[in-house]
Structure 1
């Protein structure tokens, strides 16, 4: 390997690092990509990554594959540290540059995972798509809220139907409110026709997907922008148990029987009462019911009319006098 200096580091930071991150997140870089051909804007960056052994060429599949940067960093930073005081500053800069690659490596679908791994942004969906593609026996999914876009649901439908068609069993839980979401109904109709089972519940835990009871993906502290992949067997088993308990209480999505629809309406009414008694704000209550704030306000208005109350205070007082808790039928 030729001696590396400030010029190479500048290319590494400005061009090579973004190229490596893109390759890691997508799982590979096609060697036919015009940007990396001679004369292309990223040809120099590719050459540097290959020279550093951060990308290796898989000739059989015509792609460049990312290599764990921690195995390469010591070969670059170590010799620089040994040159003496005059190179300490440069080695520090290279160490800082490599630190950014570690996050990209952890987001790569081809990387070896620990028991708990954190993903950010688009890398979440990339990892989920890869995990579903590798499923062999079972998919358990929970979608507690509606509102997904058509393109997202269409992509999910194709991905999930492909898994079902190769023999993977799939069960999905939604909230009752999903029954009123046209795009969700279309998705459910498609996957159900291929053998998936879908049910709804009055309230459910956060979004989750479990693959073959060995891997679970749940939201991180940053909501939709952070995902946590869990491979610790005890934690995955716990999440599966939570899912199974909810599944037993849920109702088939495809059923349109009047009696079941009446039961669902009663469950949503009871949930609204519990939200009011517990003192949750309208946005929080609406989110837990999986409806808009306006729809939740409509539920409250219906209760006011039912109990002949003009204000929420009167409604709460009247329900308290009557012993109404929202759990009468549990």
Structure 2
């Protein structure tokens, strides 16, 4: 039997341990609150339950205080919801076209439009291959919108079909209920959330800022513009080429632009393709038309009814 006033040497002798082992054990037990000084001298053992109450009480008190502070902060923020909605409505009335600059500000506005979107999101995505990082960031946002029942229509250019990451992204959207098409030429990048459109200030400089358009007349025009290109586009999963001699899809669009006198570089820029790809298509068309010049190819294409 060990007495509270027993010395370390006596405890060590009784337990068959070294004095160092006993001293280390006492130190650890004291740190856990399992040993406390006895009023009569020495140390007394404390039950693990009592030690836990004494040791964790300050921590639990701090957690409780933090929860109370969090609840108070949340209540103060929620109380401002009415003011925020009123400010948004006033901003929409007073400024039908708003300019937003700075990437962080643009991201914040687009995130806000996504959170408040209730019905539809239509997108024009010009260019060929889209940046992989942008595609990865867009997937989670788009899946959340689709899970809420938002109708999503995304329109790419045909050149995007040859980019694997963009094709996988399009297939992911389609598999989740989104609609994805492609066309040869798109005028600009554009997002239309319900009754609000986002347009780049400078289509060639993505960091220049965006215009948030809420004007009903302008918005109606932009929606009609989207429908114009959407109705003439192909499903992204289609290869864009049909059997037969008459060109379709990308070949037909290249032929139409070639017939207007545009050079390969201009066609490539307008369609979001590389000049080399356009040159190969032009070469195939001239071979099928048995033409020795671009002018002759245009004449024979018109005679065949390919330009109608």
Give the structure 1 partner of residue 20 of structure 2: none
CA positional deviation for 1:164: 0.9
Task: Tell me which residue corresponds to 1:207.
Answer: 189
The total of aligned residue pairs comes to 223
Counterpart in the other structure of 1:17: none
Equivalent position SS for 1:279: coil
Specify the alignment match of 2:232 in structure 1: 249
Pairs within 5 Å for 1:114-125:
114-122=95-103, 123-125=105-107
Offset from partner CA, 1:34-64 (integer Å, 9 cap, x none) = xxxxxxxxxxxxxxxxxxxxxxxxx725999
Whether the aligned pair in 2 keeps the contact of 1:207 and 1:219 (CA below 8 Å) is yes
Q: Which runs of 5 or more structure 1 residues have no equivalent in the other structure?
A: 1-58, 65-108
1:60 is the counterpart of 2:73: yes
Q: Find the partner of 1:219 among 176, 187, 200.
A: 200
Give me the CA root mean square deviation.
Answer: 3.3
1:182 and 2:195 correspond:
no
CA 1:130–1:202: 2 relative to 1, 3 Å: same
Q: Give 1:110 shift.
A: 12
2:136 aligned partner: 154
Deviations 1:117-155 (A, max 9, x none): 223341333322321222111111111222222111011
Deviation sequence 1:248-269 (CA, Å, 0-9, x none): 222222346974x879962322
Counterpart secondary structure, 2:117 = coil
Return the TM-score normalized by structure 2: 0.63
Q: Which of 238, 248, 251 is 1:269 aligned to? A: 251
Determine if contact 1:173/1:201 at 8 Å carries over to the other structure.
Answer: yes
Q: Secondary structure at the match of 2:306?
A: coil
Cα separation, partners in 2 of 1:237 and 1:322, compared to 1, 3 Å: same
Q: Which is worse superposed, 222-231 or 289-298?
A: 222-231
**Alpha-carbon deviation of 1:285?**
1.1
Find the counterpart in structure 1 of residue 125 from structure 2: 143
- How many Å apart are 1:162 and its aligned residue? 0.5
- Pick the structure with greater CA Rg: 2
Which of 276, 286, 291 is 1:304 aligned to? 286
Q: TM-score, normalised by structure 1?
A: 0.59
Determine whether 1:170 maps to 2:170: no
Runs of 5+ consecutive residues of structure 2 not aligned to the other structure:
1-71, 78-87
CA 1:201–1:222 in structure 2 vs 1: closer, same or farther (change >3 Å)?
closer
Q: Secondary structure at the match of 2:73?
A: coil
Out of 248-257 and 200-209, give the one that drifted further.
Answer: 248-257
Cα distance in 2 between the residues matched to 1:249 and 1:121 = 34
